[in-house]
Amino acid sequence: MPHHKLAAGIPCRICSLPFALPRSSAPTRSVPKETLTSEMNAETSDAPPTSLVDRTVVPGDTVLDLTAMASQTIKLGAGLRQDCDTISVMKAGKLRLSKPNKYWVESSHKRYVPCVEDTVLGIVVDCKPDNFLVDIKAPTLAFLPVLAFEGGTRRNIPKFEIGTLLYVRVVKANNSMNPELSCVDETGKASEFGQLKDGYMFETSTGLSRMLLSSPTCPVLEALGKSLSYEIAVGLNGRVWVNASSPSTVILVSNAIMNSESLSGVQQKIMVEKLMQRLQ
Amino acid sequence: MEQRLASTCRMTVNERKFVETALASDLRVDGRRPFDYRRLTIKFGREDGSSEVQLGQTHVIGFVTSQLVQPYRDRPNEGTLSIFTEFSPMADPSFEAGRPGESAIELGRVVDRGLRESRAVDMESLCVVAGKSVWSIRVDLHILDNGGNLIDAANITALAALSTFRRPECTSGGENGQDIIVHDPEVMEPLTLIIHHLPIAVTFAFFSEGNIMVIDPTHKEEVVMGGRMTATVNSNGDVCAVQKAGGEGVTPNMIMQCLRIASVKAADITSKIKNAVETYNTERTLRKVKRHSSTVTQQVSVPDVIMKDKQAENIISHQEEMIQHEPDRSSNCDDEMTVNTRTCIKTEGNRRDRCTDPFVGGPSNWDPYLNKLSSNLVGKSQDLLGPLTISKEQQESKSNKMAVENSPEHATISSNSETLGVSGPRQQTDVAKSLKDAVKSKARKKSKTSATTS
């Protein structure tokens, strides 16, 4: 029986916009169409703005006209800005909408901007008396307090050598301070945080990590899980750890994942099938 | 301190262990076998002597430039070749702008040694006036992306750039014949460098105390490897240079095996470079040939057309070793094409397709009354005939044999360029005259054809 375990954390950000939406979700409208079609004219050349949801937008695009929605509350996430009466895009990416009124732009980068409650994969760079310095692909190194482990006291401080791979959670993230991490969840339990032993780690973009963590299960992971048994941990900072019993399986899984970024669900399934056929 | 920490490459202990355990079962992390190279693509820029090479993720560009300098005292009749490398900070976080680091200097040295010690580039042909001025060839290599194995990629870039580089022709002239005149590329066709052979660098990485060896290491494998060796060999089987700077010790058997593998790989890479250079050269020649034949459509006279084909053939046989009948066929096709088609033809297959298409509309486009049509068409052809006269001069200087035959045609063309308005009907009457001559008197026709076709 193929065993496929996703060691994923709770996918949420503090601005309360879920980052992961089912890939097959149809674009939804939160504002009645007739009021918008009259307003949106010069900016978007063809259709009303809410049909920009789930489409690629670039900085400068206007996505909403607020004169049409006078008494509504709209929550804006990353990459959007209010310009008097319009909402315009600041970052290139896909515009996402969560009913009823949450909008944000999702983009895929090599760099990671730390957000609270993100689960990431970090590499220990240095050990200090009070905390470990951990690299999470952020602009600055992150601190992992020595006591932030389940049942952690001054007597049983874990000994991590330089280069240890950890699965951690971001606790504090401001752009002026170093981010702070923790190896326990909110209730104080370890819950799969901590050191990842053996296996292989590779780096991808943040967009691919989000796709791998989306629910329902990402097609490439599902297709691989049908014929191979492996263990995987995905960090939102673009790092993925794979472990399996034989090195060839690990190499297969890692290469399949790396090639699947730009493919649609069906294409991913086909790619994995071809890969499995080539091996047999 | 944090800045420095942030800029080094981070490898987890998991990765290190995994790379080694996978290699123990002959598996590499990107799915290659131990003796497989990554995909190699060689591209060229518009200028002669600029190349861009991608070996997997590694990306290097190279430029070759030349300058007249005084030779070294101990080698008064040899040119000089110098390699400069620039490790751009965008290639790797550990590269810093400014002074080159250790690996940058080592890379430059290995590429330089492979070319200089093996005398791959002929230095004596670069001498202009012995003891006074020689050509100094400078190769600049820029690393754009470090995906591992920079030495091999940089070497291929340097070879590709040198193979397509052309230095200006220069002759001695001036008052007492002492001055050197460097000719503009438009005036005189620049010359290629004489390259005797292509020394290819093949890099090996050693793991687990020298027992496991792989070719073309990626960035991750380079961090994990115990030692590295670069063997520069050419396709004739000569070993041009070997570089092993520190690292794990390796048995002599291992080194002999590496050299054997390197010569096999070198033959493969040499053929790839040569194919790419040939494609570039044919495209370059086509660009020149098209310029000539596009003006021929304006003149319409058939004997002149045949002349130009022969000259085009001579250019091609001068510039390239192999004589192919393709350019002849293509230049025939080009004659039929109108002036406005100026697309870039990349491969020979495409060229053949292009040839057939204009033929379909060929006879209807070829209109003997074309010259009478519009003034701007006439004006355009006038501009085109301008460069034609210059290139005609350069062809004359090149082929001394054809000098006599060129001059009458040159005379006709220059007279055409001066009085274009008159030339149209005159040529028409020329054509008409030759047809009439064919009917009327054979003697007159014989003298006319002998003047134009000799």
Q: Which residues, listed in sequence order, are joined to residue A108 by a DSSP beta bridge?
A: none
Query: Rounded CA gap, B201 and B115, in Å?
Result: 10
- Under DSSP, the state recorded for A86 is E
Work out the burial of residue B373: count CB atoms within 10 Å of its CB; fewer than 13 is exposed, 13-18 middle, 19 or more buried.
Answer: exposed
pLDDT in tens, chain B (454 residues): 455 554 566 789 999 999 999 998 889 998 888 999 999 999 999 888 999 999 999 999 999 999 999 999 998 989 999 999 999 988 988 888 888 888 899 999 999 999 999 999 999 999 988 888 899 999 999 999 999 999 999 999 999 999 999 998 888 776 666 777 888 877 888 889 999 999 999 999 999 887 889 999 999 999 999 999 999 999 998 999 999 988 888 999 999 999 999 999 999 999 999 999 999 999 988 888 766 555 555 545 445 444 444 444 455 445 444 444 444 444 444 444 433 434 433 334 444 444 444 444 445 555 555 555 444 544 444 444 444 444 444 444 444 444 444 444 444 444 444 444 444 444 444 445 556 555 655 555 555 554 454 4
- Record: contact B2-A200, CB cut-off 8 A: no
Nearest Cα residue to A86 out of A152, A149, A36: A36
Interface test with B, best of A251, A258, A279 (most B CBs within 10 A): A251
Question: Which chain B residue has its CA at the smallest distance from A197's CA?
Answer: B14
- Note the pTM of the prediction, 2 decimals: 0.68
- Closest in A125, A252, A255 to B5, CB measured: A125
- Closest in A126, A164, A247 to B25, CB measured: A247
Question: Which chain B residue has its CA at the smallest distance from A126's CA?
Answer: B5
**B406 to each of B235, B403, B430, B446, how far by Cα in Å?**
42, 5, 19, 19
- Closest in B6, B15, B31 to A200, CB measured: B15
Question: Which chain B residue has its CA at the smallest distance from A258's CA?
Answer: B30
| Residue whose tokens read 């730009």 | A262
- Record: contact A123-B12, CB cut-off 8 A: yes
Nearest Cα residue to B135 out of B213, B67, B190: B67
3-state secondary structure of A76: strand
- Under DSSP, the state recorded for A78 is T
